[in-house]
Each structure stands twice: as C-alpha cells, then as structure tokens.
Chains A and B, each alone.
Chain A
C-alpha cells in the first residue's frame, strides 16, 4: 500500500447539527430536593432532561457494510516500547506487517519503535526486514508491501529511566502527528521487561501523552503479561497505571484470548442452541483443561526461575480458559459485559493454603526424551539454580461455587517438557442414568466434547454407536471438526487479532484490572502454601512424561483419569 499524504488541510467542523426539535418545549425542572433525601432514577432522568441536548448520531461510512472490516482503525501511531526485544521481533512487528499487507491498517499509520540501543531509521528497518524474513507467517515477503510498511517505521532511542527522553518523545510524536496526519491517536505498546511498565506509564503521564482530546486523539496502552508477580504487585501496578490512564484506556494482553479457537469458544457456546442447555452440573461430570508444552524453558532460565508454571500459565492462560468455559452468557457481546461474566467465575473459585496439598500438584522435570531427542532436566538448564524449587508443572482441581457448576470439578494442568504440545478443553459428560446395553459387548464411554486449541484446532464429539452386525455391540465413535479443513480463510495470528482490536478500541479480548487481581487471588494462596510448606521432592517427573505421579493421583482420587491426548 503506497500513500502520498495530502497537504495539511484546515479541519472542517463537525457537520452534525444539534437536532433538538425546535417546537419541542423544554420541560420544567423539578423542584429542588432536600440534600439528605436520596435521588430516585426518575429524579435523575428528569434532572437530565432539558440539560443535555440529544446528540446527532455520528455519521458512519455505510460503504463499509459487508466488507472485511466494517470499521477501520483510526489514523494512528503505534509506539512500541521494547522494539529491539524478542517479543517485538517475533510477534508484534510481524503481526503489524500482516495487517498492513492485507490493507487492515489505516493509511495514516506509523510505527514508532522505542529501544535503548542506538539505531537510525534505516538500520532499524533493515533489522526488522531480517526478522520478518525469519518470523513472518507468509513468506517470501511481499516487496511492495514491505517497502510501504518500512516507510512507516521510525526509531527513537530512549532510556526508560531518563525522564528527558520522554520529553523528546512527546515532541517527536507531535511532529509525526503533524507530518503524517495521525490525528494524535497513540497506542503505546509495552513489550518491555515487566519491571519497566510502571516507570514508562508514569513518564507518559508526566509528559501528558496520556491526555485524550475531546475532538479526537485517543490514547491507549497495551501491557504484556505477566501483569504483576503476585496479588500485591498486580494491585500496585494497577494503581500505578490507574494514576495515569483510565481503565478504558488500558489493554492487558493475553495472547491466548486472540487465538481463533478461543474466540470460537464463545461462538460455539452462545451461537448454537444445542450445547448451552447441556453446559451445567446436571449433565457435565467434570472438565479437563490441558496446556501442554513439549519445549523446555528455551534459554529463559532467569525469567522462569522467577515465575514457574503457576505464574507463567496458570494465573493467565489457564484461568482465562476456565472463565470462558464456565461463564454465564453475557447480555451483549460488549467488552465489559463479557468481562463482568468472566470475573464472576474467578470470584467463585476459592483456594485456601489449606486446600493446596489436596488440590494442587507441582512438578519439575528431570532429564528425559521428548520427540526422539534427549533433553536435560530443568536444573541443568542455563541460568537455573542447580537446587531450584521452581515448578515446571502444575495440576489443580478447581471448584466453581456457583449455581451452574456447583460440585463439578475443573481439572487443569500445564507443564514444560510434556510428551507433546497440546492445548485442549474437554467437557466430560455424565454416564447415562440407566445402562441399557450393559450386557451387550463393550459399554461405550460417556459422551465427551473436546475443544482443541492447538495444534490442529477443532472440536470433537464422542458418542456411542452400534457396531454393524447381527448383535448389539456398542462402540464409541467420534465426530471430528477440524478448523483448518473446514475454512478456506487463512487464520490470523492471535497478535494480529488483538492489535487490530486495540487499534479499534475493542477491549473484549483483553483482561480487565479486576480480572487480573481475581486470578492472582486464586494463585497467591497456592504459591504461599508452597513457600511456607515443605521443600518439594524435585525433580519428580521425567521429561517426555505427563507430569508427576501425584498429578494422576489428584484426579484418580475422584474416580476419574486424565484424558490421553
């Protein structure tokens, strides 16, 4: 996409008239009410009448209806902090390039990359090109698209601890807005170390880069996970961010929520009439959610030592999946309605430190074999303490104390160096109330609905069928829907979805402050119990197995077993 920018124009005033009908009398104001008497809804409504003229609905571009995007993002600058880092090169910038390549970004779009290292624009663009050639999901690069995208990439060196640098940044953004018609719309993307989030946000506030303008010029901030290290630090960070940005300006990213199958979960549950009636304690025996990784810690020893599986996956990805599976239908498909329902689920989960020994299992891998390759144990990984007590596996039994799920356990597990990479939600239905075919061949398993999130996204339903023949043998069969083979459309990467949403101001797939805190309030007692309890007997599972034997015991105690994935 190539654009020649028009000369700076004089802004035309909003043509929309204030269209209060002239012949409509303004109602008389109600008599003043004594101060100590509480206001009723009627009072509030009456007091508003005559004060607030009805506003003309803003004009919309009707030609957009039926096209890929019914609303395109506004002209804007994405200010990428941590632009020289791994996340920016592997995920954020490739996502932006794809959005650009497919004409989904506004023409007046700029990427202002911020990093500590010294680059000029050209040198940084060359480095980005090299990264795209490695990490872009569509190769080779489209020369025309890359050229026009590269023109929009600028680099600014900035030491995040240096306040003066932010003054320079404010000035630079003003100039870029003026030159490129980006209308003072800024999306600040924090892809830095978490320890720098608060400082960057504070500096943005100090130089006024958080201020939104009445006639346009929105300011939003995207914050990468991990959002806090525990409940206390998450609250502190929320407070720091809240001093500068309103909650509606904050987009906490959990890339799992941008995955196609996760989004499809909402459509599957609330867009089909046949599943929701069966989605409750009456029919569901239990739910299993697995986030399994075959990889190890991939040279992130220092980071992983501080986090472990519970902070890295349980607090965010796993609990997000739990809340999406368990939530009530929202009244509307609007960000806050959706997030209200998710928060209710998290609030209904309670784990105390006393529950932890029974309901939570942790593990750490020892050397073993994964995918026909010998791999070291966790304690032999670089930058890992040889006596480390950091968990690389966690399994938990969560109970959601609400009307829908009371008594239905949610078994969740995640781990590194498991036999395969797989993320799956399995809804295990109850047995039929009366075993009609118990004397005839093999009794079929209870029905199961499995939602595969990665890889091989799809949905599988298991049910019993009669084996053809004269007898009455019953066997379990599956109906399998694979996303990739049913839809022609090239699925966007989760980051593409989420960045586009943030640019459009849609926060549905982002995590709200109270969600983050509720999730920490579930994970905190677990970590607290581990910290204050006995030292673990680590390592306790071989790389390439499905975790420690205690994880099997956790579920087998209830007469169930983990699904073989």
Chain B
C-alpha cells in the first residue's frame, strides 16, 4: 500500500479550465490522473477544496462558486473503449439535469498483470445566469489484468454513500458471472439495452428476469422503453368504448420483425423487442403461458397481400416461419406468432404488431406499424375499416432513454410484468424447436 505522499507523487498535476461557462453547456473544470483507488479518492477530495478552481474575471482570477451536486452514483461498465466514450458523452448531456458521480469502468489486457489507470474530471454547467455552476465528477477507470474482473472492488470505494446506485451496462452484461452479481448486489437499478445483445438475446432476457425476481434491483431496458410509442398507440385503440370490450377477447397476437437473414434461422436475429411486445400485452391482460415460444416448422408463410410493406425499405418473407406460443386467460387461448421478414431495417426491429379479437361473432383486427417519426394504427371491425390514425411519436435517443431510466425512481410494475412475461414466453429451457 503506497503512502499518501507517494500516492500524491504518482498522481499527475491536475489541469483546470478557467474559461467562463456558457449557459447550459457542460464545461470541463478539472481533470487529473491517478493510478490507484487511494489516489483517486485523494483527487476527488482535492477538486472541491482546490484554490485552482477559479475562473477569469476581467483578467483577475477569482474563486469560483460552484455547487458539487450528486443525485446518484452511476456506474458504467463498458467493455470497449468506444462504448465507454459513447456512454460518457451521453452522461455529459445529463450533467445539468441529473448530476451524478459517474464511474466508467473498462477493462483491458485481461491476461496481463493487474493495473489501474484513472482519469478524474469535474464537469460543470451553469443552469441559469444567476445560479452557481452545478458540477459533477466523472471517473474514467481502465483496469488491466485480474483487477478488471473485480468490478465491485473497483466501484464500491468510490461510491458516494446514501445515494442510489445505478449500473448502466451497455453491450452484453454477463448476468450469471460472479463479478456482475457482486456489483449488482449493492445496486438499485440496472440499465441495459436488450436489443443489442448477440444471438436472439432471449436467454439473457430470461437470466435478467431471474436476477430481479424477489430482489430490490430494478431493471430499465432501453429495448422496452423505446416501445412506449407502440404501447401508447395500441392502448389508444381500446380507449374507444366500442372497441374496449374486445380487449379481453384477444385470439391472436402477431409481431413481425426485421431480419437480414434469408433463412430466418433461429438465433440469427435479436428477438428481445418483438418478444417484449407480447410480454407487455400478455402481462397487462393477465394471460398465462400455456405453451412457450417454439420454432414454427414448415414453409414460410406469405405475408398477407397488400398489408406487409414498410417505408423503411423492401421486405419479403424469410424462409423460417418464426416462433409461436400459446397464451390463455383461463377461458380462451390466444395464439402468438413472432415472425421474421427480410428487411433493410435494423435486424430485430419491430415492423408490425397485429391483434385479432373475436367477441360474440364480431371480429376486431388491429394493425400497428411505426416509422422514425410516427406510429400508424389501423383497425377493422368485421372487415370494415373503422380507424386509420397517425400518431406523431419520434423514436427516442439514448440520452432521453437514460434520463427516463434515472427519473423513474420506483419499481415500475408494468416493466416488471413485461419482463417476467417475456421470460415465461421464452420458457425455462429457452426457445424450443
């Protein structure tokens, strides 16, 4: 263990930025490097006591009034440098809104000796002309060798106590690994993007549902959050008192998704988003899984003439017929189909959600599609077009989704229900064939 003096020597001289802040724009006010957790802690203490943290005012250095603000700890586990940079940029956009102590951890050279390189920064933002700057710290850590595998040991000493801990894990979180379990044991919220997971992503989805079951950990999945515009559009159909009775009489849920794989082979495309649609609907309607998702065999079904087309590009049916499952509300069964269509859209993107409901001999068919800026809803009652609506609902960016995840302070029962139902659809043994 190095002495404090030695640690100070090891740390590089901090750099400070004395330019006056621009209203609403984050500015880097402090930057230093350190090579041990103790050095980093020392640097963090120095930031707020530093006489150097001053700004130029008419050629004169004056002590700058800045308020250190932290509403939470945000731990980002980014396995690749470019991912770490992207996350840091997103977080910086939230400095004024959600100032946090952010710890970005990336690992390097896992087979080499253990080492640690830390960059400590303070970003400040001036929320209004008559208010002091609001500042928050970001600690960029790169850990080599064995050290990089002990995430909890790296993050825990740097956490501000009594503040909630959010772990943002872009990429592929190894949810079964001891390292992840240790880190998440103290966390309040896990933020992931299930739509970026490799393969079909469903096994990891199931693991995530297991992870949160009965625990205080709350999960925010960008893949599910992005679908809120779909959910609003689908829900709007049943705001109509004439259509509401059909809601409890669903017979079929079909979700069409984009694939780049002509064969439509299972596992070739991420299915998290399409399965979330079914999970959300089924959980809201209190349906139970009778038969989990399994691969549909046989020749590909042609899409209904004149109904499957997407402005995003050309589409044609994939060779595979996708997945099927059966749900039930105890009275009637609901067929579920998750089917691929070859499309120019990013693989795994939902292209269409179709609902079929039958009630007292009457049929209601709902068809929802989405573009970058709008969602389109059409409804046919007994074969007659009853509704044709466009909602203006732009696709949301990562900063908005992260802000939403942070702002949702509580456990959201709708998300939990959708996740658990999605996991139940996947089944304990994964998607069967």
A6 to B232, CA, bound (A): 20
Asked if residues A107 and B232 are in contact (CB atoms below 8 Å), the reply is no
Asked if residues A67 and B245 are in contact (CB atoms below 8 Å), the reply is no
- Would you call A151 an interface residue if the criterion is a C-beta within 8 Å of the partner chain's C-beta atoms? no
Asked if residues A62 and B414 are in contact (CB atoms below 8 Å), the reply is no
A residues 97-143 in Cβ contact with B at 8 Å: 101, 103, 106-107, 142
Residues of chain A lying within 8 A (CB to CB) of residue B362: 12
Asked if residues B245 and A488 are in contact (CB atoms below 8 Å), the reply is no
Asked if residues B235 and A67 are in contact (CB atoms below 8 Å), the reply is yes
A145 to B238, CA, bound (A): 22
Residues of chain B lying within 8 A (CB to CB) of residue A489: 407
Asked if residues B71 and A59 are in contact (CB atoms below 8 Å), the reply is no
Asked if residues B385 and A6 are in contact (CB atoms below 8 Å), the reply is yes
Measured CB to CB, the closest approach of chain A to B252, in angstroms, equals 16
| Chain B residue at minimal CB-CB distance from A142 | B392
Contact with B along A1-18 (1 / 0, CB 8 A): 111101101011001000
Asked if residues A145 and B385 are in contact (CB atoms below 8 Å), the reply is no
Which of B285, B392, B414 sits near A103, CB closer than 8 Å? B392
Contact with A along B402-433 (1 / 0, CB 8 A): 01100100001111000000000000000000
Residues of chain A lying within 8 A (CB to CB) of residue B404: 488
Asked if residues B242 and A63 are in contact (CB atoms below 8 Å), the reply is no
| Chain A residue at minimal CB-CB distance from B406 | A488
Asked if residues A9 and B407 are in contact (CB atoms below 8 Å), the reply is no
A145 to B392, CA, bound (A): 7
Select the residue from A66, A148, A456 with max chain B CB neighbours within 10 A.
A66
Residues of chain A lying within 8 A (CB to CB) of residue B379: 6
Known: A63-B235, A66-B412, A67-B231. A456 touches B387 (CB 8 A): no
Measured CB to CB, the closest approach of chain B to A152, in angstroms, equals 13
- Would you call B97 an interface residue if the criterion is a C-beta within 8 Å of the partner chain's C-beta atoms? yes
Measured CB to CB, the closest approach of chain A to B141, in angstroms, equals 27
Asked if residues A62 and B285 are in contact (CB atoms below 8 Å), the reply is yes
Which of A3, A9, A142, A488 sits near B381, CB closer than 8 Å? A9
Q: How large is the interface on B (under 10, 10 to 19, 20 to 34, 35 or more residues)?
A: 35 or more
Residues of chain B lying within 8 A (CB to CB) of residue A4: 387-389
Residues of chain A lying within 8 A (CB to CB) of residue B388: 3-4
A64 to B247, CA, bound (A): 12
Interface of A is mostly: loop
Which of A2, A3, A63, A456 sits near B234, CB closer than 8 Å? A63
Measured CB to CB, the closest approach of chain A to B418, in angstroms, equals 9
A residues 72-89 in Cβ contact with B at 8 Å: 72
Residues of chain A lying within 8 A (CB to CB) of residue B310: none
Asked if residues A484 and B127 are in contact (CB atoms below 8 Å), the reply is yes
- Would you call A528 an interface residue if the criterion is a C-beta within 8 Å of the partner chain's C-beta atoms? no
Measured CB to CB, the closest approach of chain B to A10, in angstroms, equals 10
| Chain A residue at minimal CB-CB distance from B235 | A63
- Would you call A55 an interface residue if the criterion is a C-beta within 8 Å of the partner chain's C-beta atoms? no
Asked if residues A488 and B414 are in contact (CB atoms below 8 Å), the reply is no
| Chain A residue at minimal CB-CB distance from B362 | A12
Asked if residues B238 and A65 are in contact (CB atoms below 8 Å), the reply is no
B residues 81-139 in Cβ contact with A at 8 Å: 94, 96-98, 127-128, 131, 134
Asked if residues A482 and B232 are in contact (CB atoms below 8 Å), the reply is no
Which of B127, B286, B403, B413 sits near A66, CB closer than 8 Å? B413
Measured CB to CB, the closest approach of chain A to B20, in angstroms, equals 19
- Would you call B281 an interface residue if the criterion is a C-beta within 8 Å of the partner chain's C-beta atoms? yes
Residues of chain B lying within 8 A (CB to CB) of residue A64: 235, 239
Asked if residues B247 and A62 are in contact (CB atoms below 8 Å), the reply is yes
Which of A1, A59, A142 sits near B389, CB closer than 8 Å? A1
Contact with B along A153-169 (1 / 0, CB 8 A): 00000000000000000
- Would you call A485 an interface residue if the criterion is a C-beta within 8 Å of the partner chain's C-beta atoms? yes
Asked if residues B239 and A72 are in contact (CB atoms below 8 Å), the reply is yes
- Would you call B390 an interface residue if the criterion is a C-beta within 8 Å of the partner chain's C-beta atoms? yes
Asked if residues A1 and B390 are in contact (CB atoms below 8 Å), the reply is yes
- Would you call B1 an interface residue if the criterion is a C-beta within 8 Å of the partner chain's C-beta atoms? no
Known: A61-B239, A63-B231, A456-B128. A485 touches B97 (CB 8 A): yes
A59 to B245, CA, bound (A): 8
Contact with A along B347-389 (1 / 0, CB 8 A): 0000000000001001000000000001000010100111111
| Chain A residue at minimal CB-CB distance from B229 | A103
Asked if residues B414 and A65 are in contact (CB atoms below 8 Å), the reply is yes
A443 to B50, CA, bound (A): 29
Residues of chain A lying within 8 A (CB to CB) of residue B245: 12, 15, 59
A63 to B71, CA, bound (A): 32
- Would you call B297 an interface residue if the criterion is a C-beta within 8 Å of the partner chain's C-beta atoms? no
Residues of chain A lying within 8 A (CB to CB) of residue B234: 63
Asked if residues A3 and B97 are in contact (CB atoms below 8 Å), the reply is no
Residues of chain A lying within 8 A (CB to CB) of residue B235: 61, 63-64, 67
| Chain A residue at minimal CB-CB distance from B285 | A62
| Chain B residue at minimal CB-CB distance from A73 | B239
Residues of chain B lying within 8 A (CB to CB) of residue A7: 384, 386
Residues of chain A lying within 8 A (CB to CB) of residue B374: 144
A477 to B400, CA, bound (A): 34
Residues of chain A lying within 8 A (CB to CB) of residue B232: 67-68, 103
Residues of chain B lying within 8 A (CB to CB) of residue A148: 390
Residues of chain B lying within 8 A (CB to CB) of residue A144: 374, 392
Asked if residues B236 and A107 are in contact (CB atoms below 8 Å), the reply is yes
A65 to B238, CA, bound (A): 12
Asked if residues A485 and B134 are in contact (CB atoms below 8 Å), the reply is yes
Contact with A along B224-237 (1 / 0, CB 8 A): 00001001101110
Measured CB to CB, the closest approach of chain B to A3, in angstroms, equals 5
A178 to B224, CA, bound (A): 39
Which of B238, B242, B359 sits near A9, CB closer than 8 Å? B242
- Would you call A486 an interface residue if the criterion is a C-beta within 8 Å of the partner chain's C-beta atoms? yes
Measured CB to CB, the closest approach of chain A to B296, in angstroms, equals 27
Which of A216, A484, A487 sits near B407, CB closer than 8 Å? A487
Measured CB to CB, the closest approach of chain B to A229, in angstroms, equals 39
| Chain B residue at minimal CB-CB distance from A485 | B127
Which of A6, A11, A106, A485 sits near B239, CB closer than 8 Å? A106
Known: A11-B242, A61-B244, A62-B284. A2 touches B127 (CB 8 A): no
Residues of chain A lying within 8 A (CB to CB) of residue B413: 65-66
Asked if residues A63 and B247 are in contact (CB atoms below 8 Å), the reply is yes
Known: A6-B387, A142-B392, A485-B96. A72 touches B71 (CB 8 A): no
Residues of chain B lying within 8 A (CB to CB) of residue A68: 232
* A–B Cβ pairs within 8 angstroms, 5 of them: A11-B242, A66-B415, A456-B128, A486-B97, A488-B98
Q: A1-B391, A61-B247 are in contact. List 18 more A-B contacts (CB 8 A).
A: A1-B390, A6-B384, A6-B386, A15-B359, A61-B244, A62-B247, A62-B285, A63-B247, A63-B281, A64-B239, A65-B413, A66-B415, A144-B392, A456-B131, A482-B127, A485-B131, A486-B71, A488-B98
A-B residue pairs, 4 tightest by C-beta = A66-B414, A63-B235, A6-B386, A4-B388
